[in-house]
Amino acid sequence: MMRRALILLTTILLSLLLFSCELFMKEPQAGKVYGIFVALDYDGLNQTILKGTIPDAVEQNKAFAALADGKYEGYLFVQKKDGIIDQTTINGTTIELYPTVENIEDAITALSGITTSNDLVLFTFSGHARVGTIAMAPMAGDGIVEYDVSQLLDLFSTVKGRKLIILDACKTGLAVPIDPASSSTLLENSIATWYRKYFDNDRSVKGDLFIMSSSANTDSYETTFGGKPHGVFTYALLQALGWDVDQGKMSKATPPAATGKRLTVDGLFSYIKMHQAFPIKRTLFNLLDEFQHPMVNGGALDMILFTF
Amino acid sequence: MKRVACILALLCMLTPLAANSEGYYYTLSLSLFPYLSIPHYQDDIPMRTAAGGEVSIGALGYRKSRYDLSLELRYRGTTASISHGFYRARGFDSVGVDLRFAYQLKEQLALFTALGTEVNYYRNVDSVFASFSAALGAEFLLSYNPSYRLSLTIPLTIHLRKEITAIQTAVGLRYQYFPKGGGP
């Protein structure tokens, strides 16, 4: 009796493994990679000048282009020293490559007409930010235009494909939408909140838009690496991608942040936390006054960016 | 969070000191399981597959006649799921507490049920969520003497997360130590 029951239960247990959907269902093929890289040094815009932002955007564009292996379109919206504004064409729309809200919105709208659900769309921003907004250039004159990140995310929701938004600017973690089912330990560190969230009525949807921020709720810093200025977050990100800033090429065939031949958002995030030059916040013992702790959106899923 | 953990740890430390009844016991359980998560949201596939392991310790166990009741602290580690398409389910660590009840049907066979709650931490992404668990299973006595019992356990656990319901079918070992020699 006991032996029969044991055999029956073991059989049930093993047969459950055969239900593994991943082994039987066809996987979609990766499509093209599109990147919009936005950076401002704020020269002439009456703001503190940032030296690392434009090199950040330039190097990220090169690194992602190398990873995409030919299936790539990258658009660099940066302030140029010579003041010349280049133009590009996306889906028949001519767009000025200058980091204003209007140009960025035109580029995203144009992209929404050409991307497919198998594509990967990247957006990076390096510059100044305030709570919930990023500082863009005005169409004319000096000063800045504060662009609401939620407006940017709404616009990206019209673009097909996986989207990864990378924000290297102060306090941009506060612009990351709150997940209905999980809580950030950096911003909602209370067990009562975690249980309250379990019972509230907000429901999760499968998101194809991931946001990675350089700093949850503190300032973001830049420094020099081998004489080259970069944001500390973006420099670690470039390393995670396998990009050698000094050599200007990929240092390895597979990025160091990849695991099991897959590069995921969580893999990048975890690598950055381990290798960032500036200290991160320790969850239990926060002995440091100054830190810069990156943040990524919560939820049950991790997004795969590249497969090798 | 820290306060709750301290109270639970203190309870587990202090209660067995007063365990002068022969039915009180300590327990250590280990198990391995496949973890099948069924999302409540629309996903590319109906279910994602991961695996995990669980360790439970209990110092609040009492056994009398055919009945067995215990309160246990549990750690559960679940891996990220097998990658499929452009996504995979995140792996997480859980710390929780279970109330477990078992009824011995025969000398070597018992049925048990457990209800628990836990706090789960997505590895590396600084994100947590609360959840509940319910388990039902069979326990086969492998070896015993008056001071201990060693059993093979086969629980079916439902992990009730807000956005996912997951099924765990584990195989495990459960060791019960009776300090006063209250075994069978």
| Substitution target from A196, A266, A271 for chain B, most B beta carbons within 10 A | A266
> Which pLDDT does position A288 carry in this prediction?
58
Residue A251 has pLDDT above 90, yes or no: no
Q: Which residues of B touch A194 (CB under 8 A)?
A: 119, 128-130
> Which pLDDT does position A291 carry in this prediction?
83
- The ipTM (two decimal places) reads 0.88
Domain harbouring B58, CATH code: 2.40.160.20
Q: Which of A111-125, A275-289, B78-92, B121-135 has the lowest mean pLDDT?
A: A275-289
Q: How many CB atoms are closer than 10 A to CB A14?
A: 12
> Which pLDDT does position A10 carry in this prediction?
67
> Which pLDDT does position B19 carry in this prediction?
34
Q: Where do the DSSP E strands lie in B123-182?
A: 127-145, 148-160, 164-169, 171-177
| Partner-chain contact B89 A301, CB within 8 Å | yes
Q: Is residue B4 part of a domain?
A: no
When pLDDT is averaged across residues A197-221 and rounded to a whole number, the result is 87
Among residues B135, B130, B131, B129, which one has the least CA distance to residue B158?
B135
Among residues A167, A70, A157, A100, which one has the least CA distance to residue A128?
A167
Structural domain of residue B122, as residue ranges? 25-177
Could you give all domains of chain A from N- to C-terminal order, each with its CATH number? Answer: 26-307 (3.40.50.1460)
Q: Which residues of A touch B140 (CB under 8 A)?
A: 2, 5-6
Gap between the Cα atoms of B20 and A82, Å rounded: 86
Q: Is residue B19 part of a domain?
A: no
CB nearest to A19's CB, from B4, B47, B163: B47
Name the token pair of B27.
């327990």
Residue A280 has pLDDT above 70, yes or no: yes
| Partner-chain contact B49 A260, CB within 8 Å | no
Q: How would residue A26 be classed by pLDDT, with cut points 50, 70 and 90?
A: confident
More confident residue, A20 or A299: A299
Is residue B69 within 8 Å of residue B48, measured between CB atoms? no
The total number of structural domains in chain B stands at 1
Tell me if chain A has a CB within 8 Å of the CB of B84: yes
Please report, in angstroms and rounded to a whole number, the separation of the first and last CA atoms in chain A. 51
| Partner-chain contact A9 B154, CB within 8 Å | yes
Gap between the Cα atoms of B78 and B81, Å rounded: 9
Could you read off the pLDDT of A81-106 as tens digits, one per residue? Answer: 777 889 999 999 999 999 999 999 99
Mind telling me how many Å the CA of A99 is from chain B's nearest CA? 30
Mind telling me how many Å the CA of A175 is from chain B's nearest CA? 16
DSSP conformational letter for A200: S
Mind telling me how many Å the CA of A183 is from chain B's nearest CA? 5
With CA atoms as reference, the chain B residue closest to A203 would be B163
Could you read off the pLDDT of A151-196 as tens digits, one per residue? Answer: 999 999 999 999 999 999 998 888 888 899 999 988 888 899 999 9
CB nearest to A198's CB, from B39, B87, B131: B131
> Which pLDDT does position A252 carry in this prediction?
77
How many interface pairs between A and B have CB atoms less than 8 angstroms apart? 164
Tell me if chain A has a CB within 8 Å of the CB of B46: yes
| Substitution target from B79, B162, B168, B173 for chain A, most A beta carbons within 10 A | B162
> Which pLDDT does position A286 carry in this prediction?
55
Q: Is residue B5 part of a domain?
A: no
Q: Is residue B1 part of a domain?
A: no
Q: Is residue B157 part of a domain?
A: yes
Gap between the Cα atoms of A103 and A92, Å rounded: 14
With CA atoms as reference, the chain A residue closest to B82 would be A22
CB nearest to A204's CB, from B1, B41, B47: B41
> Which pLDDT does position A8 carry in this prediction?
67
Q: Which residues of A touch B43 (CB under 8 A)?
A: 206, 301
More confident residue, A113 or A83: A113
Q: Is residue B91 part of a domain?
A: yes
Q: Report the largest interatomic distance among the alpha carbons of chain A, rounded to a whole angstrom.
A: 86
Low-confidence residues of chain B: pLDDT under 50: 11-21, 183
Interstrand relation of A262-264 and B171-177 (parallel, antiparallel or unpaired)? unpaired
With CA atoms as reference, the chain A residue closest to B142 would be A2
Tell me if chain A has a CB within 8 Å of the CB of B129: yes
As beta bridge partners, residue B73 has: B57, B97
Q: Is residue B64 part of a domain?
A: yes
Name the token pair of A277.
């030059």
Q: Is residue B7 part of a domain?
A: no
> Which pLDDT does position B13 carry in this prediction?
47
- What mean pLDDT is reported for chain A? 89
